[in-house]
Amino acid sequence: MKSSIILCGGQSRRMGKDKGSLIIKDKPMIKYILSTLNNEIDEVIIVLNDNKRIDKYMEFINPEDYSYKLKFVEDKIKNKGPISGILTGLENISSEYAIVFPCDNPFVTKNTIQTLFNEITCNIQAVVPYHDPENKLKTSEPLHSIYNKNIIPLIDNLILNDSLHIKGIIEKIDTKFVLIDNKKILKKEFRNLNHPEDLKIFD
């Protein structure tokens, strides 16, 4: 069984509006990643920061449109950034591993999802793509990675100590780094959409 966690708890301050529900070419941005996950994943956990936002997303996301089981959950610990969203998601998955994505990632491909899951081997706790062989950790993409739910106690402890940087997780666990080679995994899949001007690529 394969799971995915979609992080939608950010404040979107730089964009000025909620990114997951932002309409891009006639549909909310989050629906791009939800469609890509179709027939690749068995369950998807959408993590949002409160019940009001959950109600908003449930208005435009119909679980029956997708091949997988879809669940909306509220962030367990508020105002702690994406590390809390990953924790919440891992506590709600039914499988051993989950691939994590931000809600504002319309570019990820099925091929990358397959490639990362194929890298899972015994004892591996994370599969993390990276850009530069000279510095794997610094150029890694921890919000586009696979995590084992057995790291939940570690994340709990990091949050308790207010150590909220995601890369603080992957440097403490058994991580398999996978190069973003622009062949199996394309660099454009990790493009950030943080500001209104970033949306011009869709024009």
Q: State the pLDDT confidence band at 21, using cuts at 50, 70 and 90.
A: confident
At residue 22 the predicted structure's pLDDT band, cuts being 50, 70 and 90, is: confident
Q: Is 104 annotated as a binding residue?
A: yes
Q: What mean pLDDT do residues 95-107 have?
A: 93
**pTM (predicted TM-score):** 0.92
Residue range of the domain that includes 23: 3-202
Does 162 belong to an annotated binding site? no
According to the model, what pLDDT value does residue 10 have? 61
CATH (domain of 78): 3.90.550.10
* pLDDT over 70, % of the chain: 91
Residue 50, annotated ligand binder? no
Is 122 assigned a ligand-binding role in the annotation?
A: no
Number of domains in the chain: 1
Ligand-binding annotation for 9, yes or no, is yes
Tell me whether residue 110 is annotated as binding: no
- Asked whether the predicted pLDDT for residue 16 surpasses 50, the reply is no
| Residue 196: partners with Cβ closer than 8 Å, 6 or more residues away | 15, 16
Span 86-112, average pLDDT:
95
